[in-house]
Amino acid sequence: MSLAYLRLCTQHRLALGARGYATPTNDPRSRELKDEGPVFQYVGKQRKPNHKVFVWGFSYTGALGIPSFVVPDSGRKKPRKYQLTPYRLETEQQISSAACGYGFTLLSSSTKDLTKVWGMGLNRDSQLGFQRTQQDRHKSYDYVLEPSSVPLPLARPQQTRVVQVACGRAHSLVLTDSEGVFSLGNNAYGQCGRKMVEDEVYSASHIIHKMEGFDNPVTQVVCGQDHSLFLTETGKVYACGWGADGQTGLGHHNMCARPVAVGGDLAGVKVQQVTTYGDCSMAVSQDGQLYGWGNSEYLQLSSVTEATQINSPRLLPFEGVGKVTQVACGGTQVAILNERGEVFVWGYGILGKGPNLSESQTPELVPPTLFGRSEFNPAVTVSRIHCGLNHFAAVTDRGELFVWGKNVRGCLGIGKKEDQYFPWRVTVPGHVVDVACGVDHMVALVKSVI
């Protein structure tokens, strides 16, 4: 056998040796004529893009949903405290809405299956519902390290779909398409929209309250630090919760335990979007006007008033910003997006125009060249903006995610722990569809390119 092998080798060498060198016959015409060899198909014509979830930020609360970051799989590995770049989170269903609270996360899918909402992170106030422990069925986990199902008390669980989720400091809101809003978590200030019970123990609580008191179906919910805002179909805004800074906008500085319609300058106005995350609240009407109320210690509303707490919505007339389509406000800063895709920022903190601009009363335009507009791509615009407590996030129409602001425990996801003073791209493998910002972590919903 070995003899035959040897002969083959020498024959091969002879074939080469006859010409003295080996030239590949790479005439393209001859290749077409050959037409041999398999043709591989990796992707079919009807392939739809994959939807994925990426998380990054501070992981010790379990808010990232990856248990091996907190409790490593093997004894030799060390726990990962900060995830500084986007990390893929595997989910069972396609996630359509995500929200980041103060140390916890909620993910929801618009599926008709029984499990529609998953929560991970801090659960000391049952903001993720009752998470039964393995050892004791009366106890609930204080820290949920993996996306775990939130048991919503739906009347028709196989028909209702969850539209949106929102998270505050210690409470969460879940919006469904036909059964209204469900609130869970801390209710010390009435932010869950139910009557406050004295000395209520919130940890290991089974209470998930179905909210009442709206005259029309609710289309959007947002959570502030300890208050909640609701937007109905008719454009009316309802609020409940802590009001010491006037963030409920109900005309007083007291707590409110049931949703009450907001008046002031918003009376009769059709609102298209509400936003809040700290103690300041903002709303955009359908004709592009901006209204604000709540905390104004950081110049958020200083353009119309000197007061630091405004308890009734005020119209904020700004020239030069055009028709406002979206607004996002964080702890100390505000950002708006107009119909031309331009981003304006004001407030206090790292606003995105370099380290020299740290506070502003009036909107400052963030130059579009920072979002990738150049002579090769003159039509790049921003399509969504969001605010975390101390940072901003913007998603462009080309699917790129830009972040800037204070890098609290790596929440920006840019690979370093330093603050970022102007918009910086986050490298995400895919087309970013939406993003949710929290205090020290972020979640991005991403679609694959192909």
Partner 1 sequence: MTTPSVRVFHKLEGLFSIYKPPGVHWKLVRDTVETNLLKGINAAPPPGPRQRVQFLAEPTSVMAEGSSELTLSAASVPALAHHPLVSGPEFQHIGVGVGHRLDVFSSGVLVLGVGQANKALTDLYRSHVTRDYTLEGELGMATDNFSHTGRLIERTTYDHITRDKLERVLAMMQGSNQKALLTYSKVDMSTQEAYELAVKGELRPDGKSPPIMTGLRLLHFQPPHFTLEVQCLNETQRYLCRILHEVGLELRSTAVCKGVRRTRDGPFTIQHALTHQHWTSPDVIQAIRQYRSSRKAGKAKHTQPGKDTGTASQRQEMAEEAAVTGDSHRLLSVLTSKAFGS
Binding site for partner 1 (CB under 8 A): 24, 26, 28, 31, 37-45, 47, 353-356, 367, 369-370, 372, 374-377, 398-400, 418-422, 424-425, 427, 431, 449-450
CB of 377 to partner 1, least distance (A): 7
Of 5 and 376, nearer to partner 1 (C-beta) is 376
CB of 176 to partner 1, least distance (A): 33
Helix, coil or strand: residue 164:
strand
Write the DSSP symbol of residue 244. T
Name residues whose C-beta falls within 8 Å of residue 431's C-beta, 6 or more positions apart in sequence: 49, 399, 446, 447, 448, 449
Distance of CA 100 to the CA centre of its chain: 6
CB of 47 to partner 1, least distance (A): 6
Name residues whose C-beta falls within 8 Å of residue 105's C-beta, 6 or more positions apart in sequence: 55, 63, 64, 65, 98, 99, 119, 120, 121, 167, 436, 438, 441, 443
The answer to whether the CB of 77 falls within 8 A of the CB of 69 is: no
CB of 48 to partner 1, least distance (A): 11
The answer to whether the CB of 76 falls within 8 A of the CB of 97 is: no
3-state secondary structure 400-421: CEEEEECCHHHCCCCCCCCCEE
CB of 132 to partner 1, least distance (A): 43
Angle, CA of 187, 191 and 197, to the nearest 5° = 30
The answer to whether the CB of 84 falls within 8 A of the CB of 56 is: yes
Is residue 414 exposed (0-12), middle (13-18) or buried (19+ Cβ within 10 Å)?
A: buried
Of 132 and 398, nearer to partner 1 (C-beta) is 398
Q: Which of 45, 143, 63 is nearest to 107 (CA)?
A: 63
Of 44 and 268, nearer to partner 1 (C-beta) is 44
Q: Which of 70, 88, 90 is nearest to 80 (CA)?
A: 70
The answer to whether the CB of 122 falls within 8 A of the CB of 148 is: no
CB of 336 to partner 1, least distance (A): 20
Of 4 and 39, nearer to partner 1 (C-beta) is 39
User: What's the Cα-to-Cα distance from 141 to each of 61, 74, 126, 288, 324, rounded to whole Å?
Assistant: 12, 23, 9, 44, 43
CB of 449 to partner 1, least distance (A): 5
Query: At residue 10, what are phi and psi to the nearest 5 degrees?
Result: -65, -35
Dist. CA 347–CA 163, nearest whole Å:
31
Of 320 and 355, nearer to partner 1 (C-beta) is 355
Q: Which of 436, 445, 427 is nearest to 385 (CA)?
A: 436
CB of 140 to partner 1, least distance (A): 42
Of 234 and 358, nearer to partner 1 (C-beta) is 358
Length of the chain: 450
CB of 44 to partner 1, least distance (A): 6
Of 317 and 429, nearer to partner 1 (C-beta) is 429
Of 121 and 413, nearer to partner 1 (C-beta) is 413
Name residues whose C-beta falls within 8 Å of residue 103's C-beta, 6 or more positions apart in sequence: 61, 63, 121, 122, 438, 439, 440
Of 9 and 39, nearer to partner 1 (C-beta) is 39
Of 23 and 74, nearer to partner 1 (C-beta) is 23
CB of 40 to partner 1, least distance (A): 5
Of 280 and 442, nearer to partner 1 (C-beta) is 442
Dist. CA 352–CA 158, nearest whole Å:
45
CB of 283 to partner 1, least distance (A): 31
